[in-house]
Amino acid sequence: MRVLVVGSGGREHALAWRLARSAKVTEVFAAPGNSGTASLGTNLDIAEIDIDGLVKAAADQSVDLVVVGPEVPLSLGLSDRMGAAGIPCFGPSRAAARLESSKSFARDVLDAAGVPGPEYRVFRSASAALAYAEHRNRPLVVKADGLAAGKGVAMCVNLEDAKTAINTCMQDRMFGEAGETVVIEEWLRGPEVSVFGFTDGENLSPLVAAADYKRVGDGDTGPNTGGMGSYGPPESWDESLAERIRRKIMLPVIREMATRGSPYRGALYCGLMLTDDGPRVLEFNCRFGDPETQAIMPRLVSDPVEAMMACATGTLYDTDPVEWSDSPVVAVVMVSGGYPGSYQTGLEIDGLDGPVADDEDSLVFHAGVRRAEDATERLLTSGGRVLACVGTGESVEEARNIAYRRAGEISFDGAYYRRDIADLRSGQPAATR
Ligand code: AMP
Ligand code: GLY
């Protein structure tokens, strides 16, 4: 089979890497891809939002399955368009992708499905939102309704913060249309987990979970980022929790989407807070997480194409069960100095031999890496999140040591990574140890 992976980050390198290892796959394309996907197959110079270009390329290259990494092309209807062209596509329709592309829609679906979340209210007017924040006068989370490249969520410890966040969305229109509606939520406390499953709109695979480190600094300090690392299975995860989330959260949402005439097919990502009152949903996303994918793809034992194809064609029930390994995997993200603020690009990366230098238990997935277009073909940084060093092992500690050993071998000017990813002693900031 010929597969096309859409996207250009570390998640897409990890997906392409796992697909390339499938006995069913003969050819991997990526659009636009990065230096990592180029080492596994052919990069096509088509932007992930160029829906016409992607459909044409998939047809021209006789692609048998399209695998979509990011949410934006899904929210633009890529899956619908591939379907109309007769090309199976792993990723939900535009209507089903609203679970991620509209937070108010998602809350409505969760309520209808009886799924627990934070207390929340939806506002279309700034004055009503401000009045509500004033009335609540306690820590709140203010969210732009639409897609805002991961920047639309403001954690507001006090009323001042909440006012700023509401004004940023609704008056300054920082996120354009995406912030015309805001959702204001109760601030939930507890460990957070990202949970993923394959679904064909009716059936749901066994679940896999990973932790995601969002803050830039050790001990969860500093600004939020696109993700500084991930590991799984998380410490807080066990079979009974998985079963509870499956039966009480994910299947009811899948059923509700089907009832609404927008069956959800693809990777279903549920972001949860494990509160003292049990798991509560922070968000649903319509894709795999980044950087969680870098930590879960090495754990996918069963064939990825079979599962993805079954989701695309509504036949998950008939295929061999999806199987995840319990072996721990740790992914440490190396970023450019200054990230998530401004940073330099074009810096030479040392110590990155193979594109996925794969010595079985250690992998490197490229994100913001490109190959120089001169005779040197050096690897250069091209983004904030540059790469992820991944270790697998018998224990979290072993996997962690392998990932960090690998990170220690790679360098570029200003390279930075957190030192406490998957450090199970944390809970207290690493800086104080
Ligand atoms: P979202 O894009 O909705 O997942 O929000 C991004 C991040 O903000 C989440 O992964 C959480 O860390 C945090 N977050 C979102 N909603 C809440 C909430 N209601 N309570 C506490 N933290 C939240
Ligand atoms: N890791 C968070 C996300 O992919 O949205």
- Tell the residue nearest (CA) to atom 5 of ligand 2: 289
Q: Which long-range contacts (CB under 8 A, 24 or more apart) does 48-52 make?
A: 48/6, 48/7, 48/8, 48/72, 48/73, 49/73, 49/76, 51/76, 51/77, 51/78, 51/81
CATH number of the domain at 51, please: 3.40.50.20
Distance spanning both ends of the chain, measured CA to CA: 51
- pLDDT bucket at 146, cuts 50 / 70 / 90: confident
From ligand 1's centre to the CA of 188, what distance in Å?
A: 8
- For residue 164, the Cα-to-chain-centroid distance in whole angstroms is 27
- Tell the residue nearest (CA) to atom 9 of ligand 1: 282
Determine whether the shortest distance from the Cβ of 227 to ligand 2 is under 6 A. yes
- Tell the residue nearest (CA) to atom 4 of ligand 2: 289
Structural domain includes residue 110: no
Determine whether the shortest distance from the Cβ of 7 to ligand 2 is under 6 A. no
Least confident among 68-72, 345-349, 400-404, 428-432: 428-432
Determine whether the shortest distance from the Cβ of 106 to ligand 1 is under 6 A. no
Averaged pLDDT for residues 170-179 = 83
Averaged pLDDT for residues 254-261 = 98
pLDDT of residue 278: 93
CATH number of the domain at 373, please: 3.90.600.10
| Pairing of β 221-232 and β 329-335 | antiparallel
Residue 169 has pLDDT above 90, yes or no: no
Structural domain includes residue 248: yes
Reading across the β-sheet that carries 265-275, which strands appear in turn?
A: 278-285, 265-275, 192-200, 208-217, 221-232, 329-335, 385-392, 362-366
From ligand 1's centre to the CA of 185, what distance in Å?
A: 9
Indicate which ligand has the atom closest to the C-alpha of 151. Answer: 1
Determine whether the shortest distance from the Cβ of 285 to ligand 2 is under 6 A. yes
Structural domain includes residue 107: no
Share of the chain above pLDDT 90, in %: 76
Q: How many domains does the chain have?
A: 4
Contact 371, 379 (CB under 8 A): yes
CATH number of the domain at 271, please: 3.30.470.20
Q: Tell me how far apart the alpha carbons of residues 370 and 349 are, in angstroms, rounded to a whole number.
A: 10
Averaged pLDDT for residues 258-281 = 96
Main-chain dihedrals φ then ψ at residue 30, nearest 5 degrees: -135, 145
Which residues sit opposite 4 in a β-bridge? 29, 66
Structural domain includes residue 308: yes
Among residues 269, 292, 318, the one where a domain terminates is: 318
Based on the fold, state whether residues 83 and 11 are members of the same structural domain: yes
pLDDT of residue 151: 80
Averaged pLDDT for residues 193-202 = 97
Determine whether the shortest distance from the Cβ of 114 to ligand 1 is under 6 A. no
Indicate which ligand has the atom closest to the C-alpha of 227. Answer: 2
How many other β-carbons are positioned within 10 Å of the β-carbon of residue 397?
15
Instruction: Please choose from 143, 292, 293, 385 the residue to mutate so as to test ligand 2's pocket, defined by most ligand atoms within 8 A of CB.
Output: 292
Structural domain includes residue 97: no
Which residues sit opposite 264 in a β-bridge? none
pLDDT tens profile 371-424: 998 888 899 999 999 999 999 999 999 999 999 999 999 999 999 999 999 998
Based on the fold, state whether residues 197 and 312 are members of the same structural domain: yes
Instruction: Please choose from 283, 285, 286, 290 the residue to mutate so as to test ligand 1's pocket, defined by most ligand atoms within 8 A of CB.
Output: 283
Based on the fold, state whether residues 178 and 206 are members of the same structural domain: no
Based on the fold, state whether residues 199 and 133 are members of the same structural domain: no
- pLDDT bucket at 359, cuts 50 / 70 / 90: low
Based on the fold, state whether residues 251 and 300 are members of the same structural domain: yes
Based on the fold, state whether residues 244 and 267 are members of the same structural domain: yes
Residue 132 has pLDDT above 80, yes or no: yes
Based on the fold, state whether residues 415 and 345 are members of the same structural domain: yes
Among residues 186, 204, 236, the one where a domain terminates is: 186
Least confident among 97-106, 116-125, 141-150, 214-223: 141-150
pLDDT tens profile 3-42: 999 999 999 999 999 999 999 999 999 999 999 999 999 9
Contact 162, 142 (CB under 8 A): yes
Helix, strand or coil, per DSSP, at residue 81:
helix
Structural domain includes residue 105: no
From ligand 2's centre to the CA of 203, what distance in Å?
A: 23
pLDDT of residue 358: 54
> What integer best gives the mean pLDDT of the chain?
92
Amino acid type, 312: A
Tell me how many degrees the CA angle 344-211-360 measures, rounded to the nearest 5.
75
Based on the fold, state whether residues 379 and 309 are members of the same structural domain: no
Structural domain includes residue 349: yes
For residue 62 the two structure tokens come to: 């006789």
Residue 433 has pLDDT above 60, yes or no: no
pLDDT of residue 126: 87
Determine whether the shortest distance from the Cβ of 219 to ligand 2 is under 6 A. no
List the domain range (segments joined by +) for residue 205: 192-318
For residue 184 the two structure tokens come to: 């204001």
Indicate which ligand has the atom closest to the C-alpha of 107. Answer: 1
Question: What CA–CA distances, in Å, run from 37 to 46, 63, 328, 373, 392?
Answer: 14, 16, 24, 16, 21
CATH number of the domain at 150, please: 3.30.1490.20
Among residues 287, 318, 349, the one where a domain terminates is: 318
| Pairing of β 120-123 and β 42-43 | unpaired
pLDDT of residue 405: 94
Higher-confidence position of 98 and 150: 98
pLDDT of residue 178: 85
Based on the fold, state whether residues 344 and 414 are members of the same structural domain: yes
For residue 268 the two structure tokens come to: 């279903």
pLDDT of residue 354: 52
Residue 361 has pLDDT above 90, yes or no: no
Determine whether the shortest distance from the Cβ of 283 to ligand 2 is under 6 A. no
